[in-house]
Amino acid sequence: MRNILVVISGPSGVGKGTIVKLLLDADKSLVESVSCTTRAPRAGEENGKDYFFISKEEFSDRIAANDFLEYDEHFGNFYGTPRSFVERQLKEKSVILEIEVVGALNVKRLMPSSAVLIMVAPPSMEELEKRLSGRGSEGDEELKTRMQRVRYELDQAPLYDYVIVNDDSRETMRKIREIIRREKEKTI
Ligand code: 5GP
């Protein structure tokens, strides 16, 4: 069976992090890529686990060295997928990327036969807004900007291979595992 690049996107607050954690716990043949970012760590985030937190200077140097498979600017911060990690891991395992839509579409363009794009959508916009404001890490203005971004991201869903409405994290995890199983069996 082939190894694939499972690209998971979805608006902020939709529950991607929980789903990815459940996937990694359920299937030891999967590995997650840890991205680099120039944004500051949030409370509880760990360097090397949630992200590699690096300076803008280091990020620019790494762009110049072609170290990123893809990168994008998001709300004034840069985010990038380390190329060598992904390429090395793909020889042995399927790799999960949790990235936003611009990056996801770039990965599909660069690696069309390995990348499987999965969009996780909220059950409703109201539900998502409730979850986002309940998180408490965003102010009113930022919440508004994030909700605009949510609409933009969901509009890109037709460009994805799969869209899954996240009513229940475990159920969503099971659906994604089934997609991964079928995609790995393809002969492309
Ligand atoms: P946050 O700051 O909330 O952790 O992430 C903001 C957005 O950046 C999320 O949609 C997340 O999926 C995305 N993101 C995280 N890592 C990467 C990456 O390496 N590349 C791209 N393009 N987006 C990323």
- Among the atoms of ligand 1, which is closest to the Cα of residue 35? 19
User: What is the chain's length?
Assistant: 188
Give me the long-range contacts of 66-75 (CB less than 8 A, separation at least 24). Answer: 68/36, 69/107, 69/110, 70/99, 70/103, 70/106, 70/107, 70/110, 71/103, 72/99, 72/100, 72/102, 72/103, 72/106, 74/100, 75/39, 75/145, 75/149
What distance, in Å, lies between the first and last C-alpha atoms of the chain?
Answer: 11
pLDDT truncated to tens, each residue of the chain (188 aa)? 899 999 999 998 899 999 999 999 999 999 999 999 999 999 999 999 999 999 999 999 999 999 999 999 988 999 999 999 999 999 999 999 999 999 999 999 999 999 999 999 999 988 888 888 876 666 788 888 888 989 999 999 999 999 999 999 999 999 999 999 999 999 87
Say how far apart CA 42 and CA 33 lie, in whole Å: 19
Q: Is the CB of 99 under 6 A from ligand 1?
A: yes
Any ligand 1 atom below 6 A from CB of 149: no
**Which residues share a beta bridge with 85?**
none
pTM of the predicted model as reported, rounded to 2 decimal places: 0.93
User: How many whole angstroms from 92 Cα to the centroid of ligand 1?
Assistant: 24
Which residue, among 106, 51, 107, has the nearest Cα to 79 in the 3D structure? 51
Ligand 1 atom with minimal separation from the 99 CA: 12
Give residue 187 CA to ligand 1 midpoint distance, Å. 30
Residues in contact with 30: Cβ distance below 8 Å, sequence separation at least 6, in sequence order: 6, 23, 24, 93, 94, 95, 96, 180
**By alpha-carbon position, which residue is closest to atom 23 of ligand 1?**
99
So what's the pLDDT on residue 111?
Answer: 95
Closest by Cα among 102, 51, 50 to 75: 102
> Ligand 1 pocket, 12 CB below 6 A?
yes
Distance between CA 75 and CA 146 in Å, rounded? 9
Distance from Cα 107 to the centre of ligand 1, integer Å: 13
Res 138: pLDDT? 62
Instruction: Give yes or no for residue 80 CB within 6 A of ligand 1.
Output: yes
* pLDDT for the residue 3: 97
- Predicted confidence at residue 136, as pLDDT, reads 61
Q: Give the closest residue (by CA) to ligand 1 atom 3.
A: 12
Question: Structurally, what CATH architecture does the domain formed by 5-185 represent?
Answer: 3-Layer(aba) Sandwich (3.40)
Q: Element (H or E) spanning 144, and its range?
A: helix 140-155
Query: Which of 89, 90, 86 minimizes the C-alpha distance to 99?
Result: 86
| Position in ligand 1 atom list of the atom nearest CA 10 | 10
Say which amino acid occupies 150: V
**67 CB less than 6 Å from ligand 1?**
no
Q: Could you tell me the residue ranges of all domains in the chain? A: 5-185
